[in-house]
Chain A
Amino acid sequence: MPPSDWVPLRWLAAWSRSDVSRLRGTPFNCVIGAPELDGIHTIADLNTAPVHIVGGGKWPRVAPNPGGAGPTGQPWVDSNGYAVRIAQAIDPAKPAWLAYSVPASQALRPAQFALAVCDAAAYGGHWIVCPDDRAWDATVAAARFFEQHKSWCTYHPAARLAVVADFSGPQRALATEVVNLLTRRQVAFKIVREKDATEANLRGMLEVLRIDAHEPASRDPYTIASEAHLKLSRRNDLLRLWNAGSINSFYTLSPDDRRGLLQLINYAAHEPSRLITVGLARAWASARLWMLNAAAATSVEVRRVRDGIELDLPPFAVYAAIELQS
């Protein structure tokens, strides 16, 4: 089984060999820190595994905001999707895994474990699941959803902005944070490494944001992200979200560009989202909505607005995906 098919889970020290039965019928086929197990790939030492361990991973959540959210205040979100995307750009041959632990001493809900799965899987990565009896069913259901939609991993980012950076050296932190902030601004962008910044790879991009060795590390990433978006102009947004709040988005296209996928990850996992409206610059003909625990997708009314469309979504707790057809 190639590494790209591994769905990782951390073996708990308290488990015995018989606990392997927990994994039957689940997507988890790769266990970290376990003894040899029949039918399950085991990895003793993550450092030697042919995967890219994404550094600095954090438990996804809405961070407390002492100022509160007023007429415009966007909540601060701890997320990892942007880091998964960077890892994939740096090393496309290796799957990107997040290795952070579940925070101790918190009253965590099952939805938050599902969020941890979605936060990585929506971008084609994996969180190395830390099993927890409080949330086993929710965790398995989330992982199973993404296994059932593995074909979505072949899609590429819809983009009009290219971020060109090497994510190394003194510019690494700056470039990483700019990508994080662009994600929070719902900008549809793609990441291109400096050595891959060819005419072919930048074709179709209206703006190119280069964060290279000449960019002073002291520059404010918020200003860089804002200015990039301004330079691109809101007129060229491929995607807009209304009432997004604590939601991040990832908009991708099928290899033949005939299908689209908009994934929405709600970092306030324990409560339903507000009523979200999605605006897309492309006039997709139809849209279907997937939610994590739904047996099937439901149709979403497509409303034509000038050259694009708008979709009014129902509230959802953790994750929603909209399949678009031209």
Chain B
Amino acid sequence: MRNLTRRELLAGSAAALTAVRMARADAPAGRVAISRCRTYDPAALNAALSSMFDQLGGIQPLVAGKTVAIKINLTGSPDQRLGHTPAERAHWTHPHVIGATVHLLDRAGARRIRLLESPWNTAAPLEEYMLEANWEPRDLLNAGSHVEFENTNWLGNAKKYSRLSVPRGGHMFRAYDLNHSYADCDVFVSIAKLKEHATAGVTLSMKNCFGITPCTIYGDGAGVDEPSPVPHGGRGSVIHAGKRAPSKSALPENDLSSPRDGGYRVPRVVADLISARPIHLAIIDGIETMTGGEGPWIADRVARCKHVAPGVLIAGTNPVNTDTVAMAVMGFDPMADRGRAPFETCDSTLHLAEELGAGSRDLSRIEVTGTPVRKARFPFRA
């Protein structure tokens, strides 16, 4: 192979930069709302979220007459707390935020609302998982006129998994086989927690969707040829470390020679997933949360894990935009890439999603309504 000339090298670099600039310029940039909210009181939440939805242009056109699927964040095991702090005040989306969202969507005319999560290591009903954490799932079922739960960590209530393709071929997989609930919906909402993440830097509305992959196919105990009947373990060996393939019934990885590093793989899978399963409404619960990582299990390794109360809610109709604003509120530069906080050891999910055309991470292009970023800022690494 001959060496490139300097002219060719410069031309190639310019072309690459141009492509990147075009990707950023093309990537959608819309409006993101920030609201100060220092309480989980349902009335206050209803008021705050209602106002935010109005600032986003209203949700009635989005959900009226539609089936709305909401991915919530119940990561880890329900028998874990950050010290004595209950999960919903540290690393889980708070049930009152979920309930208020359900109520407002219902009031806006949603025909059916389905609450989804892939709880750890179980095919048991989502209600049981919530009960174990001392939640009352009936409160959520009663927040709207037609509310359901589904555990999406396995086949669930359908006869087959739904294959959702990633536009432009995807970073890691061309398509993902998911529980039917992620296909059988008209509107998809991600309700996340405002958190850092040990592998991916941050976990916000996009990383929340990492959990839409069923562990029966993409998990440690997944069947080799066919999905296992029930999920076992997490996604470490398939997605994080790439030590084994998903069930052969699903599509294999695009490039088996790609790095087996979680900091490379996880952000790419997340970018793929939110491109395959677009998010129409992203909500981030930053009223109370934790620093240092995504859950109490990180506290063994990271001394600065602690409960904090930033007192903010963030919402937007584009997840990349919403996560961009959330990162800024957390005191991070949304344009950061690997090597810079919070992506010291990983690639930026926001950048990778932007490359797939999912949205812009350029804060200057995003209209922020409600509380300004500078007033909402709560540095996570202070």
Contact = CB atoms under 8 A, between A and B. Distances in A.
A62 to B, nearest CB: 15
Interface string B72-94: 00011101110110100000000
Contact of A71 (B76, B81, B134): B76
A274 B297 CA distance: 11
B84 A240 contact: no
A71 B77 contact: yes
A234 B80 contact: no
B80 to A, nearest CB: 6
Contacts of B77: 71-72
B75 A71 contact: yes
Nearest to B75: A71
Interface of A: 69-72, 230, 233-235, 237, 240-244, 274-275, 277, 279, 305-306, 310, 312
Interface stretch (B61-69, B120-128, B346-354, B356-364): B120-128
B185 to A, nearest CB: 27
B128 A233 contact: yes
A241 B79 contact: yes
A241 B132 CA distance: 9
B84 A275 contact: yes
B41 interface: no
Contacts of A233: 128, 131
B297 A71 contact: yes
Contact of B80 (A72, A230, A237): A72
Nearest to A276: B84
Contacts of B234: 70-72
- 6 residue pairs, one from A and one from B, having the closest CB atoms: A72-B77, A234-B131, A71-B76, A312-B84, A242-B81, A275-B83
17 contacts: A69-B297, A70-B297, A71-B77, A71-B295, A71-B297, A72-B76, A72-B120, A230-B128, A233-B128, A234-B128, A240-B132, A242-B79, A243-B81, A243-B83, A244-B79, A275-B84, A310-B134
A256 B330 CA distance: 55
Contacts of A242: 79-81, 86
Contacts of A240: 79, 132, 134
Given A71-B297, A240-B132, A275-B83, A230 B124 contact: yes
Interface string B112-144: 000000001100100010011010100000000
Contacts of A69: 297
B131 A243 contact: no
A244 to B, nearest CB: 7
B78 to A, nearest CB: 8
A70 B236 CA distance: 10
B138 to A, nearest CB: 10
Contacts of B131: 233-235, 237
A97 B55 CA distance: 70
Given A72-B121, A279-B134, 17 more contacts: A69-B297, A71-B80, A71-B120, A71-B234, A71-B295, A72-B77, A72-B120, A230-B128, A234-B131, A234-B132, A241-B79, A243-B79, A243-B81, A244-B79, A275-B83, A306-B134, A312-B84
A277 B85 CA distance: 9
Contacts of B310: none
A240 B133 CA distance: 9
Contacts of A241: 79
A233 to B, nearest CB: 7
A277 B81 contact: yes
Contacts of B84: 275, 277, 312
A305 B120 contact: no
B296 interface: yes
B218 to A, nearest CB: 16
Contacts of B80: 71-72, 242-243
Interface in B29-75: 75
Contacts of A275: 81, 83-84
Nearest to A244: B79
A240 B80 CA distance: 11
B256 to A, nearest CB: 25
A48 B295 CA distance: 54
A323 B148 CA distance: 40
Contacts of A234: 128, 131-132
B117 to A, nearest CB: 14
Contacts of A310: 134
B311 to A, nearest CB: 23
B136 A306 contact: yes
Highest count of chain A CB atoms <10 Å: which of B77, B79, B81, B86? B79
A279 B77 CA distance: 16
B89 to A, nearest CB: 12
B296 A243 contact: yes
Interface string B288-302: 000000011100000
Contacts of B121: 72
A279 B79 CA distance: 11
A22 to B, nearest CB: 41
B306 to A, nearest CB: 12
Contacts of A230: 124, 128
A279 B297 CA distance: 21
A279 B136 CA distance: 14
A272 to B, nearest CB: 13
A202 to B, nearest CB: 24
A310 to B, nearest CB: 8
